[in-house]
Amino acid sequence: MPITQTASSTRTRSGTATTSPAVQWTVRIVGAGLVLAMALIHLKLWNDGYRDIRWIGPLFMTNAVLGVLGGLAVLVTPLRWLPWFAMLGGLLEIGTLIGLVLSLTTGLFGFHETWGGLVLPTIIVEAAGFVVLCGYGASALLPLLRERRTLR
């Protein structure tokens, strides 16, 4: 039973913060949209010829599949698992962004990406996805982990 409530969170008797339904639905819709956008970008690039590049082609298809699964998971997972799936989606986004940065700078598996095309939209989508999903996941999980630590 809550003892205090604000527009963005509720604090339970145990002191655990839970986010409001509006925040949860915003994270679900925006976060899933960003993960699905990342998946669609990689599927389009795979279809446009990246599939023929050794290592990169299979990685793009893997990213597309994981992105669709991750986006759907963020949308439909039960509330108690949402922070965990949000963290996984955010980590997929940042891992993909790191791969892009490596391919733009030092190269990745012998492949060197060039600026142009979908590079800038991809950077924006992946960075925003990381911020939204991992930001929510961390804000929801850190109080729970701290509470567990104090109970030991």
Q: Is the pLDDT of residue 52 over 60?
A: yes
> Is residue 105 in a domain?
yes
pLDDT tens per residue, range 117-126: 899 999 999 9
- Determine what percent of the chain falls in helix, strand and coil, rounding each to the nearest 5: 75, 10, 20
**Domain assignment of residue 70, given as a range:** 29-146
How many domains does one find in the chain?
1
Contact 56, 113 (CB under 8 A): no
How far is Cα of residue 34 from the mean position of the Cα atoms in its chain? Answer: 7
> Is residue 112 in a domain?
yes
> Is residue 14 in a domain?
no
pTM equals 0.82
How many CA atoms within 13 Å lie on the side-chain side of 145? 8
pLDDT tens per residue, range 73-93: 999 999 999 999 999 999 999
Q: What is the pLDDT of residue 16?
A: 39
pLDDT tens per residue, range 29-51: 999 999 999 999 999 999 998 99
> Is residue 67 in a domain?
yes
